[in-house]
Amino acid sequence: MAEMAKKWPVAVNAVAGLALAGFIGWQFIGSGSGSMEETAPLAEAPAAESEAAPDVPVPATKAEGAVGVDGERIANADSEPGNWLAHGRTYNEQRFSPLDQINDGNIGELSLAWSLDTDTTRGLEATPIVVDGTMYLSLNWGITIAVDAKTGEELWRFDPEVPGEWGRYGCCDVVNRGVAVWKGRVYTASFDGRLFALDAKDGSVVWEVNTVPGPPYTITGAPRVFNDKVVIGNGGGEYGVRGYITAYDTETGEQAWRFYTVPGDPSLPVENPELEAAIPTWKGGEWWKVGGGGTAWDSMVFEPETNTLYVGTGNGSPWTREIRSPGGGDNLYLSSILALDADTGRMKWHYQTTPGDNWDYTATQPLMLADIEIEGETRKVIMQAPKNGFFYVLDRTNGELISAEPFSTVTWASHVDLETGRPVETGEGEYGDRTAFVLPSANGAHNWHPMAFSPETGLVYIPTQDIAGIYSLSEQWKEKGEFTPKKNWWNTGIDWTDYIDAINALPEIPMEKGYLKAWDPATGEVKWQAEYPAPLNGGVLATAGNLVFQGTADGYFHAFKADTGERVWSQRIQTGIVAAPVTYMVDGEQYVSVLAGWGGVNIVSGDARTSAAAKFGNDGRLLTFKIGGGEELPELAMLDQSIPEWPALTASEETVRKGEIGYATYCMLCHGALAISPGVTPDLRRMGETTREHFQDIVRGGILSDNGMASFADHLSEEDVEAIKAYIQKRALEDRARQQPVN
């Protein structure tokens, strides 16, 4: 059940019990946002320094604009640190900037330079690209804008006009993580799977190509560009799609190559030879009828020196391996890091982080390249902190595992065997005949939120969380050994009834927390960490000013000392932040910019006790700071969180129970768990009388399809919808009673 406006998310991860607090945090609506604790002592932002900031030895930027951006320029990005030319600034995607005009000595003078309202209320996850004073970035649905990076003036806007009914498809909101710039063009993808080449001057379409066969395939990731090729993956693994990565000619849009990440129907010819080796690792099932998964929905990194594209792949479809591959097997190339020849798409090597993935432990989390010293030897490595909770350091020349240490709480495996490269499972994650509580959850110890690496400290800064997941095998499979996929809907193989009962049986609702962890990849240790009152906080930026920047779910933007973790600056934003900041320079002044707009997996996993969006709404904004900026950020009004009156409940307990399961199955993914949205989508307990009267018309009739609330008539009968409405009514009555003062 989608939201009643096109600013609608398809957030997920409730399915496996991603955040217990998010699922049943409804009884705490309106309470305080908590406090932030750190291992390093909390310091007030320092007073303004009397001395001028040190001169920054920055070579003059090339005043060539987007026309001059090519492989050579990106490969030499450190020669012009005033720009942010690629997704992770450079091809190695370390998200480290050599700029140090803003530093730990003058950070107290940092203030708002300008802000831009994005006219959105959905999750904003993009990393802006900045070229010679112009910023290019994407918003939700794949809307793309160009902005004057000095003033914040919007220069042009491109809307791909995605049909509203697509809001029902895809995982985790109608988000988009960014664009790429190459030789005068901006490459951007829309939520419905189209890839566009836009003229960087005015946003006009140069070419357009459809990269997917149709719904429920989607695109939420940022394209990468190299060697006159633009590369993009796809999403939709929960719905039953097959993963692949495709390279297109940047000039014409013609397909150059495509690599399928999992095998298709074994009775048909394989599309790429690597699948011959993969087929024997899928045993006893008919995975191709449910897609198989393995979607490459986020991380890709290009290495010019070896002409290699590294790609992270996603979870299996269904999630549970007992249904997907009942005969066992590793299920290549799920949850893997792939090294591909950038010209041909042929595989050089692969490493699987979670063989036979059973918990939605994707390896699509950000990849980064670095040369680091390990035991006295400089190694060329690729690093990743995937969902499964282990931080991987691999030799990127051959895929050899160097180290894999837990960076968060892990219960499904005890360790990773360095000889075999395989995790050693504890059995705690098995849920074939029981409901299992597992750490990490399907939200992961680390999700898509970008991490950063500072070559000056040698540390990787990772947004992390400890969230327990609830897993229970499909009742249909347990009873009959059958699994009937739902068309254009979630097919995880998880049983909803057991899931709901497990949550209802909890004695109290825990408060999940998030962390910013400074991780030493050479030793496998946490050097310092900051604790937040909520999980799933924003991406990270590290700079030569000895600073690390990160926004949070509870509506703050923080700066820490990169070496010690001391918090030295904070700005109350009121809007939750999940995107990663960038920094750049225009006319000799350094700026730090970040998109504020909460969403994505947070819709279900968020907790109204800590969500800024639940308190102040979720109007998207692009915020940019500089030393002595001097602008004031407008205060947002507190939202009315009261629940209106509902009529007395007449439905039977049986009907309400049916509605509870129906709500969890079809509504919770977008409106939040157990009838509570933490601010991004409508809280259905607060429906007005008119909406209640037209509930059938909305849910089954699709009268709001153009705005993102597609019809669910293919899955829900009139009786089903009435049961869901009865469950929402019961919750509204109970929760309204809690809000009323006691006489």
Give CA 432 to chain center in angstroms: 28
Residue 364: closest CA among 455, 493, 269, 233: 233
Q: Up-side HSE of residue 350: CA atoms within 13 Å toward CB? A: 25
What are the DSSP calls for 582-648, one per residue? Answer: EEEEETTEEEEEEEE---TTHHHH--TTT-HHHHH----EEEEEEET--BPPPPPPPP--PPPP-PP
Phi-psi region of 730 (alpha: psi -120 to 50; beta: other; left: phi over 0): alpha
- What residues have CB less than 8 Å from 475, skipping those under 6 apart? 495, 497, 498
State which amino acid sits at residue 303. E
Tokens of 723: 């049961």
Cα 131 to Cα 109: distance, rounded to the nearest angstrom: 26
Tokens of 626: 């500089």
Look up 501 and say whether it is catalytic: no
The continuous run of DSSP H or E covering 664 comes out as none
Tokens of 535: 């999980």
Catalytic member of 360, 466, 607, 619: 360
Cα 1 to Cα 503: distance, rounded to the nearest angstrom: 21
Quick count: other Cβ atoms within 10 Å of Cβ 83? 26
Residue 71: closest CA among 250, 338, 267: 250
State which amino acid sits at residue 707. N
Cα 451 to Cα 461: distance, rounded to the nearest angstrom: 6
Tokens of 184: 């005068």
Cα 323 to Cα 310: distance, rounded to the nearest angstrom: 29
Residues with a known catalytic role? 360
